[in-house]
């Protein structure tokens, strides 16, 4: 089943990879231009809306995210489209474990509360919504993802940057894989409930496993350096991004993974890209 998909945030990480994946699967892809288009008009005739919109650098989430949610649900309601939303792990809080669609929400951050309310608003809207929930993004385009801006920020100097304990598991998501799964879920939307939460397990990695994988590919030792949280705490009062990132530091200290059971039930033949290939795609060329 194919159709027409409207990509919101088409120049961003989710938008770019979603557009490629839907086009590769034979869909007609529309890219929303928020500078010149009305979202409701742009959504007319669309079967699916991928919401890749997100305020840059965590700016003013409390105001902007509810506004975006209202616009997207209204456009979907009038067009009859299904919304496909990239979920995150913020609302799970700081309880270690394997998180699934049945894990109770217990946000410990302001951003976790905002995202939880956003998802509740989608659930209450009456618009069919598919949440494909993922951890930290790995973008082979190197477009400001956690892998490139945190872990690999000094890799050309032979260093991996540690934002938390080296043995703490973190949920990781290779964006081309996420986009392929998004297309597959969109194509079975008529068999899904009105609101469905699908965790995307992706790759669960500790920094030690990341270091080992890169050393294997590079054939030499890599050393750890610490992320400069002290600088972010110092500059937080005057630097919004530093302040907002510091609020989320707890996630780096929380051992967690995302369950892959729900996705396996829905897409039993889906396979993620092997880790070696993922790492090669994000490492600088030598």
Question: What local confidence, expressed as pLDDT, does residue 57 receive?
Answer: 79
More confident residue, 55 or 212: 212
Q: Provide the pLDDT confidence category of residue 17 given band limits of 50, 70 and 90.
A: very high
Compute the average pLDDT of residues 132-151: 93
How many angstroms separate the CA atoms of 38 and 33, rounded? Answer: 8
Compute the average pLDDT of residues 76-81: 98
How many angstroms separate the CA atoms of 133 and 182, rounded? Answer: 10
Q: Does pTM surpass 0.75? A: yes
Burial grade of 108 (CB within 10 A; 0-12, 13-18, 19 or more): middle
Question: What local confidence, expressed as pLDDT, does residue 146 receive?
Answer: 92
According to DSSP, the residues that pair with 232 across neighbouring strands are: none
Give the helix/strand (H/E) hosting 226: strand 223-226
- Enter the DSSP assignment of 149: I
Question: What local confidence, expressed as pLDDT, does residue 42 receive?
Answer: 97
Task: Tell me the per-residue pLDDT of 219-262, one tens digit each, with 9 for 90 and over.
Answer: 999 999 999 999 989 998 888 888 989 999 999 999 999 999 99
Q: Does 80 have pLDDT greater than 90?
A: yes
Q: Provide the pLDDT confidence category of residue 1 given band limits of 50, 70 and 90.
A: low
Nearest to 17 by CA among 37, 3, 31, 2: 31
How many angstroms separate the CA atoms of 112 and 266, rounded? Answer: 27
Q: Does 163 have pLDDT greater than 80?
A: yes
Q: What is the CATH number that goes with domain 4-282?
A: 3.40.50.720
Question: What local confidence, expressed as pLDDT, does residue 242 receive?
Answer: 86
Question: What local confidence, expressed as pLDDT, does residue 68 receive?
Answer: 96
């Amino acid at each position: 089943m194919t159709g027409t998909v409207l990509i919101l945030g088409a120049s961003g990480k989710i938008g770019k990879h979603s557009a490629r994946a839907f086009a590769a699967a034979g869909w007609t892809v529309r890219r929303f231009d928020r500078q010149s288009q009305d979202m409701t008009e742009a959504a007319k005739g669309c079967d699916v809306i991928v919401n890749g919109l997100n305020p840059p650098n965590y700016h003013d989430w409390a105001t902007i995210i509810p506004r975006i949610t209202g616009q997207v649900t209204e456009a979907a309601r009038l067009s009859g489209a299904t919304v496909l939303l990239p979920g995150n792990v913020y609302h799970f809080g700081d309880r270690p474990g394997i998180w699934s669609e049945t894990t109770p929400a217990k946000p410990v951050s302001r951003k976790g509360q905002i995202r939880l309310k956003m998802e509740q608003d989608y659930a209450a809207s009456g618009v069919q919504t598919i949440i494909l929930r993922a951890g930290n993004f790995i973008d082979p385009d190197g477009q400001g993802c956690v892998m490139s801006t945190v872990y690999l920020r000094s890799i050309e100097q032979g260093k991996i940057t540690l934002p938390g304990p080296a043995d703490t598991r973190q949920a990781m998501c290779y964006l081309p894989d996420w986009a392929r799964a998004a297309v597959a879920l969109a194509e079975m939307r008529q068999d899904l409930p009105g609101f469905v939460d699908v965790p995307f397990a992706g790759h669960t990695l500790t920094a030690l496993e990341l270091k080992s994988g890169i050393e294997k590919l590079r054939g030499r030792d890599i050393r750890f350096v610490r992320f400069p949280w002290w600088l972010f705490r110092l500059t937080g009062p005057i630097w919004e991004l530093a302040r907002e990132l510091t609020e989320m530091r707890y996630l780096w200290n929380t051992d967690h993974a995302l369950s892959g059971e729900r996705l396996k039930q829905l897409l039993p033949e889906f396979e993620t890209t092997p880790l070696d290939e993922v790492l090669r795609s994000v490492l600088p060329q030598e």
